[in-house]
Structure 1
Amino acid sequence: MLDTLLTLLIFQTLGEGLVYLVGLPVPGPVIGMLLLLGYLILRKGLADRLAPSASQLLAHMALLFVPAGVGISVHFHRIADEWFAILVSVLVSTLVSIVVTALVIRWLSRMRREGR
């Protein structure tokens, strides 16, 4: 499990570093996940080695939402003031996520049919 945590932290740190150096308007952990995805694609066997520990982390993922819930309750007045912008951004990002997921699934199923 330590290998998995170390791998995740290394890629999160790389993502944070890239965001800081380049000034990207994207959170560092998102960049880190994209870097990790690329690394997992290049190193085929690594995903199988990380999977058991990653499954354990996902099983306890609800604990990671506690700080976000506290932040929402602390800044409730700001959320009440900005509710429309928040609603629009949530709806648009959900729509974009659905479209991107559908396109990726279509692409992966086409790749699978072609035998790659």
Structure 2
Amino acid sequence: MKYLRELLIILSIYLLGEFISKYFNFPLPGNIIGMLILLALLCLGIIDVKKVENVSKFFLDHLAFFFIPAGVGLITSLSLLKDTWLQILMVCLLTTIFTIGVTGRIVQKVQKTKDN
């Protein structure tokens, strides 16, 4: 029952994000809005981390499984991507470097605030 309750909490927040995205015609996908709602609820203490911990851990442990459909989609679209592979590779490299840099800065700032 515990896992079902945790899954229902996460699923209902996801569906709320999808509803907001479609109803208000936001440019953000519903799953991103749902994650932002979950983040806000966790930060505000409305939802305790313990109430979604087990299902969240399960999803993180099996995260690679959720990338299989995207990988299959890329493979089936190789004919469309063959002309732009260099641009796509450069964008992937630059965004990865940018993400690593921003993440590093944020971690440093969080550690400084925790030390004070």
Structure 1 residue runs of 5 or longer lacking an equivalent are none
| Per-residue deviation, 1:101 | 0.9
Structure 2 residue runs of 5 or longer lacking an equivalent are none
Q: CA RMSD in A?
A: 2.1
Equivalent residues, number: 113
Report the TM-score when normalising by structure 2: 0.79
Distance in 1 of aligned mates of 2:47 and 2:6: 13
Report the TM-score when normalising by structure 1: 0.79
Q: Would the alpha carbon gap of residues 44 and 95 (structure 1) be closer, same or farther in structure 2, given more than 3 Å must change? A: farther
Higher relative contact order (CA 8 A, sep 6+): 2
- Equivalent of residue 96 in structure 1, options 95, 98, 105: 98
Structure with more of its chain in helix, by fraction: 1
Per-residue Cα deviation, 1:77-116 (whole angstroms, up to 9, x for no partner): 11212213322321232122112211221221122112xx
- Equivalent of residue 11 in structure 1, options 7, 13, 16: 13
Report the identity percentage: 31
Report runs of 4+ in structure 1 exceeding 6 Å deviation. Answer: none
| Per-residue deviation, 1:42 | 0.8
| Per-residue deviation, 1:22 | 4.2
Distance in 2 of aligned mates of 1:18 and 1:45: 20
